[in-house]
C-alpha cells in the first residue's frame, strides 16, 4: 500500500534521527553542562512526565479528531523544540533548565504522536494486516537501533553533541512531510457530546475490565518503573563507571538494534507456529534475562555482558511489542482506540519519571552499578502478571492474528537476506 509506505518512510527516517538524539541529548547534559547523576535522572523524568500529565486526556482528544493532522503537528513541534538546543549553544545561553523544558515539551508532542499513530494504523492498513504493519514499523525502529548508535557516536565526536541534535530535528520535519502526503481519506469522527471525564473513564473501564488488557497494563507498569530506573543511568554508567567514550558507547548501542532486528524477524514464525500466548510470555522472559546481564558489565572482555544483555533484552522487547500492540488493536473498537492507547501509554510510560528519579537517587546514594542491579532485579517480578493460566487462556481466546496459519498478507515483509 502506497500510503502505508509513506507513513513507514517517515517513521524510519525519524527513528534514525531519534537515535542521534538519544545519545546526543544526555551527552549534552553530561559533557557540555557537567550534569550530575541525579540531574541525569531528572532529565529522563522530565522527558516522560508528559505521559503522566496529559496521557489520559490526550486519548480523549485524539478520538475527537482525525489522526493524521495530529501526527504532522506533533512532528513539526518536536523538530522546532529540538533545534532550539543547538541554537542556545550557539548563543552561549544553554542551561539545564532549557533542556528540562525542551524534553518535557517534546514528551507532550510524543504523547499525541504515539496515541494518534497507533490509533491511525488500523484505518490505514485494515485490521487484517496489523501484525505485518506493526512488524514493519518495529523493523524500522530496530534497524535504527542497529545503525543509529554508531552513526550517533561518530556524529557526536565530529560535530559535538548539541550540533548533532540538528539531525534529529531534521528527521522529524521529514516525517511530517511524508505523513502530510498520505492520500487516503480519513473518516471524520462521529460528533458526540464532549465530556472529558466520561471519555477518560470509558478508556479506563475498557482496559481494566478486559483480562488481557489488564494483564498487559500491570506487567508494563511494573516493568517500566524499574527498567527506567536502570535505563536512565546507562550513559553515565558506560561513560564514568566502565570508562568508555562517546564513539564506543555508540557502537555498543548497535548491538541493541541487532537484537531488535532478531525480535522482529522471529515474531512472525513464532506466532504462526505457537500462536500468541507462548511467544508473548517467552519474549517477556528473554527481555528480563537480558536486563540482568547489564550490571555485570566491565571494561575489556566484560563488555560481552553488555553486548549479550542489551541484545537479548532488545529482541524480547521488540517481539513483545509487536504481539501486544496487535492484540490491543484487535481487542479495541475503533471509536475507543485513542483512549485505549492513551490509557495503556499512561500506565506503561507514566512510571518512567518516578523510575528515572529513583535511579538517580539510588545511584547517588549506593552507586550507579548498584542502582542498575536493583532496577533489573525487581523488574523481573512483573512476569507474575503474564504467566497465570487464566491470563494465558484469555490471550489465546483473542481472534487469531493474521499469518498464524502460514498465509502471507500484502504488507508482509520479504524474508531477510542471507549471508554467506
How far apart are the C-alpha atoms of 162 and 32, rounded to whole Å? 8
pLDDT at 41: 72
Considering only residues 171 and 189, tell me which one the structure prediction assigns the higher pLDDT.
Answer: 171
Q: CA separation (Å) from 389 to 209, 269, 291, 386?
A: 18, 24, 25, 8
Residue 81 confidence class, pLDDT cut points 50, 70, 90: very high
Would you say residue 403 lies in a domain?
Answer: no
CB atoms within 10 A of CB 366: 12
pLDDT at 324: 86
Would you say residue 128 lies in a domain?
Answer: yes
Would you say residue 25 lies in a domain?
Answer: yes
Q: What is the CATH number of the domain that holds 352?
A: 1.20.1250.20
For range 291-300, the mean pLDDT: 89
pLDDT at 409: 30
How far apart are the C-alpha atoms of 118 and 9, rounded to whole Å? 16
Give the mean pLDDT of the chain.
Answer: 80
Would you say residue 275 lies in a domain?
Answer: yes
Q: Is it the case that residue 271 has pLDDT exceeding 60?
A: yes
Residue with cell 525542551: 102
pLDDT at 314: 85
230-240 residue pLDDT tens? 877 887 888 88
157-171 residue pLDDT tens? 666 677 778 888 998
Query: Measured at the alpha carbon of residue 218, what is the angle toward residues 111 and 312, in degrees to the nearest 5?
Result: 80
**Residue 35: all three cell numbers together:** 550534569
Q: Is it the case that residue 351 has pLDDT exceeding 90?
A: no
Considering only residues 344 and 159, tell me which one the structure prediction assigns the higher pLDDT.
Answer: 344
Most confident residue range from 49-53, 200-204, 228-232:
200-204
Would you say residue 277 lies in a domain?
Answer: yes
Would you say residue 411 lies in a domain?
Answer: no
pLDDT at 289: 93
How far apart are the C-alpha atoms of 318 and 307, rounded to whole Å? 17
The domain total for the chain is 1
Q: Is it the case that residue 183 has pLDDT exceeding 80?
A: yes
Would you say residue 402 lies in a domain?
Answer: no
Which residue, 95, 84, 263, is CA-closest to 166? 84
Would you say residue 419 lies in a domain?
Answer: no
Containing structural domain, residue 334: 2-182+195-396
Helices 2-27 and 96-125, axial angle in degrees (round to 10) = 160
| DSSP state, residue 64 | T
Considering only residues 253 and 173, tell me which one the structure prediction assigns the higher pLDDT.
Answer: 173
pLDDT at 73: 93
395-418 residue pLDDT tens? 877 765 444 333 333 332 323 322
How far apart are the C-alpha atoms of 198 and 60, rounded to whole Å? 9
Percent of the chain past pLDDT 90, that is, above it, reads 12
Least confident of 107-116, 133-142, 212-221, 306-315: 133-142
pLDDT at 104: 92
How far apart are the C-alpha atoms of 72 and 63, rounded to whole Å? 16
Q: Is it the case that residue 256 has pLDDT exceeding 80?
A: no
For range 35-47, the mean pLDDT: 77
Residue 315 confidence class, pLDDT cut points 50, 70, 90: confident
Amino acid at each position: 500500500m502506497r500510503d502505508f509506505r509513506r507513513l513507514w518512510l517517515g517513521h524510519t527516517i525519524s527513528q534514525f534521527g531519534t537515535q542521534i538524539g538519544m545519545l546526543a541529548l544526555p551527552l549534552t547534559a553530561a559533557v557540555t553542562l557537567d550534569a550530575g547523576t541525579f540531574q541525569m535522572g531528572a532529565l529522563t523524568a522530565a522527558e516522560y512526565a508528559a505521559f503522566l500529565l496529559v496521557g489520559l486526556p490526550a486519548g480523549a482528544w485524539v478520538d475527537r479528531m482525525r489522526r493524521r493532522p495530529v501526527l504532522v503537528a506533533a512532528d513539526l513541534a518536536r523538530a522546532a523544540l529540538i533545534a532550539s538546543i543547538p541554537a542556545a549553544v550557539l548563543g552561549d545561553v544553554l542551561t539545564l533548565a532549557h533542556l528540562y523544558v525542551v524534553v518535557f515539551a517534546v514528551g507532550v508532542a510524543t504523547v499525541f504522536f504515539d496515541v494518534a499513530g497507533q490509533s491511525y494504523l488500523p484505518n490505514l492498513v485494515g485490521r487484517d494486516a496489523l501484525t505485518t504493519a506493526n512488524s514493519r514499523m518495529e523493523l524500522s525502529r530496530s534497524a535504527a537501533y542497529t545503525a543509529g548508535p554508531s552513526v550517533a557516536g561518530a556524529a557526536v565526536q565530529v560535530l559535538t553533541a548539541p550540533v548533532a541534535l540538528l539531525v534529529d530535528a531534521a528527521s522529524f520535519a521529514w516525517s511530517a512531510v511524508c505523513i502530510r502526503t498520505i492520500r487516503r481519506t480519513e473518516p471524520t469522527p462521529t460528533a458526540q457530546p464532549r465530556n472529558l471525564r466520561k471519555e477518560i473513564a470509558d478508556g479506563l473501564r475498557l482496559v481494566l475490565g478486559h483480562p488481557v488488557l489488564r494483564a498487559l497494563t500491570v506487567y508494563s507498569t511494573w516493568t517500566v518503573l524499574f527498567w527506567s530506573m536502570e535505563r536512565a543511568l546507562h550513559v553515565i554508567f558506560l561513560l564514568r563507571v566502565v570508562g568508555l567514550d562517546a564513539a564506543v558507547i555508540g557502537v555498543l548501542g548497535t548491538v541493541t538494534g541487532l537484537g531488535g532486528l532478531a525480535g522482529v524477524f522471529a515474531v512472525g514464525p513464532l506466532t504462526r507456529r505457537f500462536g500468541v500466548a507462548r511467544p508473548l510470555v517467552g519474549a517477556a522472559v528473554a527481555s528480563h534475562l537480558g536486563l540482568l546481564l547489564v550490571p555485570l558489565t566491565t571494561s575489556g572482555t566484560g563488555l560481552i555482558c553488555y553486548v549479550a544483555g542489551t541484545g537479548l533484552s532488545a529482541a524480547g522487547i521488540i517481539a513483545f511489542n509487536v504481539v501486544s500492540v496487535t492484540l490491543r488493536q484487535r481487542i479495541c473498537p475503533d471509536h475507543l482506540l485513542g483512549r485505549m492507547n492513551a490509557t495503556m501509554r499512561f500506565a506503561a510510560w507514566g512510571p518512567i519519571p518516578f523510575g528515572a528519579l529513583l535511579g538517580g537517587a539510588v545511584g547517588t546514594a549506593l552507586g550507579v552499578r548498584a542502582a542498575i542491579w536493583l532496577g533489573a532485579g525487581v523488574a523481573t517480578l512483573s512476569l507474575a502478571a503474564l504467566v497465570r493460566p487464566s491470563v494465558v487462556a484469555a490471550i489465546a481466546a483473542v481472534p487469531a492474528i493474521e499469518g498464524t496459519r502460514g498465509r502471507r498478507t500484502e504488507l508482509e515483509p520479504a524474508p531477510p537476506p542471507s549471508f554467506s
